[in-house]
Chain A
Amino acid sequence: MSEAAATGHDHPQRATAFIKDHTRAQWHDQALWFVRTKRDRAIDLVPEWQTLRETAAAIKAHTVARLPEYLEQFEANATAAGATVHWARNAEEHNRIVLQLLQKNGVKRIVKSKSMLTEECHLNPFLEKHGIEVTDTDLGERIVQFRKEPPSHIVLPAIHLKKEDVGDTFAEHIGTPKGLADPQQLTEAARLHLREKFMQAEAGISGVNFAIAESGGVVVCTNEGNADLGCSLPKLHIACMGIEKLIPRVADLGVFTRLLARSATGQPVTTYTSHFHGPQAGGELHIVMVDNGRSQIRTSDDYRRSLNCIRCGACMNTCPVYRRSGGHSYGSTVPGPIGSILSPSSDPSAHRSLPFACTLCGSCTDVCPVKIDLHHQLLTWRKDLASKGFVAWTKRASMVVASFVMARPWLFRFAGTWGKRLGRWLPRALLMKGPAAWMNPWVRSRELPPLPAESFRAMMEKRGKQ
């Protein structure tokens, strides 16, 4: 059972807790907004940005439709280049395959670069249970690994932490001086610490940003150099990917490499865009392709486009709710708008609050580089959750009542007139404080709207204009 279901906590409760530290919530909001503005400045230098988005969306739509053929083509070409391709139906199978590869090679220490897929499969705890030391080498991931927290953002794992928090974490785990909070110096300390890990690692695990069907290669985009070090020093490289990471041609990378970093961080490109075709001389490259519910999502006309996702995080950076509630309030591996669409697929009950953690503002849809209709899919999820019985009966009951009233103009007028009369007559103490505030969250921080005696239709009747 997911933590969300087990603890009964859902987004609104966690978000409320996050916002209690208002200064910190504002800082978090500003930090993510800053990333959004960097993205805006970057795309202004690309006049054909909308064409790129449309082209990327078209490539993905085509690929997802022909996915079995492209997977077979990719497997054949990757194998021809010397890689070994593995297929995993679900997270458990993925973890077993990875473990078996490591055990077969007598591996006890591995380094891992950023892979949301491995997060989704909860690979780290599984490997650690089997006695394997896992070091996450992306700086943000290493920080949260030390803190035993999940990443709060898919691209900026430690965005929820201040430099002082990082300083404390490093003082505890890698012996930096207490109170040191300078990012430059902390990064230097991490560099030295992780370099040891790279040198000692017996295998490297990476994610996959793009898998090319035409050539059988996998592409990994990073800024820090950790993926390349981690997958070049040891002889064994395991690349883990969701099956939706496929693109048909090498040329398609021209489109995606122009969209990814600009959308994610506002950089024109990541520092390293690495193309792996087969293993190094004397080494092994294993590619583990994971379904874990993706083929199911693909069957849905409503949600299929969510498979376009290239995990850039732009939707999170722009989402006014994410910025003010933080990734951990979603209780799902991938948070934010895209996570709120993907997670309910695997567990609608646990994640039932996520599609409602949204004002349907549509900003996410407009930043998505692959044109996923995010806010429309979130709305569709609300309908699906309601029909599956995952919307609170109180909410549904109030909509049944409202619909009943609205279908009868005489009742609408009656309810409006008397509701407002009651509102005008009741003392403020009853309306706005105490139990009222508990029953009606509106009044906790807001005054009620005006309750005029005369409605517009009444005015019009007087005017004789019917």
Chain B
Amino acid sequence: MSARDEILANLRKRNLEVPPLPTLDTAWLRFEKPAEQFATMCKAVGGNVIPVTDRKSAIATIAALPVLQGGNKQVCSFAPELFAGNVDPALITDPHTLEPLDVTVAEAKLGVAENGSLWFDSSFISQRTALFIAQHVVLVVSAETLVHNMHEAYARITPPRPGYGVFVAGPSKTADIEQSLVIGAHGARSANVLVVG
């Protein structure tokens, strides 16, 4: 008997009464000012939140970010209309070549007010490694795409099948050494988060 058959047979030996699956239609947490809540939470998780009025100012703001100054920055941009990178993700076949990346620029599909996280997936991010291997990330989200909580987020997005999707909440971090919070573990050392509109 295969392991599969044996495990399933073992499980089926014990017929359990099946309690109903909850419908999840509770009135979940909402905020009077979701954009403000998003900013507060994103800062709390280590993001550097920069509100900008429109896409034009987003372009200017990104260009002026300290992480993008200085010559020879390797930048991969998934939002070329906001910032033109010099590493074209479409040409990458081996993610290892992204190791020297200084900055990844990407625009999220939506943001979640309750926790300051942003959704990215492989339908518009062709090289997921770029989100983690770059020293810094610059993330953009439009205020009108902000949702209040994770339930609303999951109602709006569909993780690609096949594919990859991720909620990113600020820069990488760890508190594994004596509970001391250190921003910048293995992923991005910093996350500039522009909220547009």
Chain A residues proximal to chain B, CB less than 8 Å:
31, 34-35, 46-48, 51, 55, 58-59, 61-68, 71-72, 77, 80-82, 86-89, 93, 137-140, 143, 156-159, 161-163, 166, 183-184, 186-188, 191, 194-195, 198-199, 215-217, 223-226, 228-229, 232-233, 243, 248-255, 257-258, 265, 267-280, 289, 291, 295-296, 298-299, 304
Contact = CB atoms under 8 A, between A and B. Distances in A.
A80 B195 CA distance: 37
A198 B29 contact: no
19 contacts: A62-B22, A71-B7, A87-B3, A87-B4, A184-B180, A187-B184, A191-B184, A194-B186, A216-B161, A224-B173, A228-B166, A228-B187, A258-B114, A268-B115, A269-B112, A272-B172, A291-B10, A298-B11, A299-B14
Given A82-B162, A87-B7, A48 B182 contact: no
Nearest to A90: B3
B65 interface: no
B159 A215 contact: yes
Given A224-B173, A254-B149, A272 B187 contact: yes
A251 B187 contact: no
A225 B153 contact: no
B138 to A, nearest CB: 16
A46 to B, nearest CB: 6
Given A143-B176, A229-B186, 14 more contacts: A46-B114, A72-B8, A81-B161, A89-B6, A156-B175, A184-B182, A224-B173, A225-B188, A252-B24, A258-B114, A268-B45, A268-B115, A272-B172, A278-B161
Contacts of A93: 3
A253 B112 CA distance: 14
Nearest to A35: B179
Interface in B55-90: none
A81 B178 CA distance: 41
A172 B120 CA distance: 39
A277 B162 contact: yes
Contact of B187 (A82, A184, A187, A225): A225
B186 A67 contact: no
A66 B22 CA distance: 14
A81 B162 contact: yes
A70 B41 CA distance: 35
A272 B177 contact: no
Nearest to B13: A299
Nearest to B128: A232
B115 A51 contact: no
Q: Which of A34, A48, A86 has the most CB of B within 10 A?
A: A48
B26 A163 contact: no
**Sorted from nearest, which 10 A-B pairs have the closest CB atoms?**
A225-B187, A278-B162, A268-B115, A224-B185, A140-B176, A254-B151, A183-B180, A269-B115, A183-B177, A225-B172
A312 B121 CA distance: 26
Nearest to B5: A87
Interface in B150-191: 150-155, 158-180, 182, 184-188
A65 B11 contact: no
Contacts of A138: 176
Contact of B99 (A199, A228, A278): A199
B41 to A, nearest CB: 6
A62 B164 contact: no
B51 interface: no
User: Which applies to chain B's interface (DSSP): helix, strand, loop or mixed?
Assistant: loop
A258 B174 contact: no
A258 B150 contact: yes
Contacts of A161: 177-178
Nearest to B179: A31
Contact of A88 (B3, B154, B187): B3
Contact of A156 (B22, B24, B165, B176): B176
B91 interface: no
A269 B176 contact: no
Contacts of B165: 274-275, 277
B155 A251 contact: yes
A217 B160 CA distance: 10
A216 B159 CA distance: 11
A317 B170 CA distance: 25
Interface in B13-41: 13-14, 16-22, 24, 26, 28-29, 41
Contacts of B13: 299
Contact of A226 (B131, B168, B186): B186
Given A81-B162, A93-B3, A248-B21, A48 B177 contact: no
A186 B184 CA distance: 12
A64 B177 contact: no
Contact of B180 (A68, A82, A163): A163
Contact of B185 (A63, A139, A199, A269): A139
Nearest to B112: A269
A50 to B, nearest CB: 11
Contacts of A253: 150, 154
Contacts of A279: 162
Contacts of B149: 254, 258
A96 B133 CA distance: 31
Q: Which of B17, B129, B177 has the most CB of A within 10 A?
A: B177
Contact of A159 (B17, B117, B179): B179
Contact of A277 (B24, B161, B172, B173): B161
B22 A271 contact: no
B11 A269 contact: no
A22 to B, nearest CB: 19
Contacts of A89: 3, 6-7
Nearest to B168: A272
B21 A269 contact: no
Contacts of B164: 274-277, 280
Nearest to B152: A254
B176 A271 contact: no
Contacts of B187: 224-226, 228-229, 271-272
A66 B172 CA distance: 37
Given A223-B185, A271-B45, A65 B166 contact: no
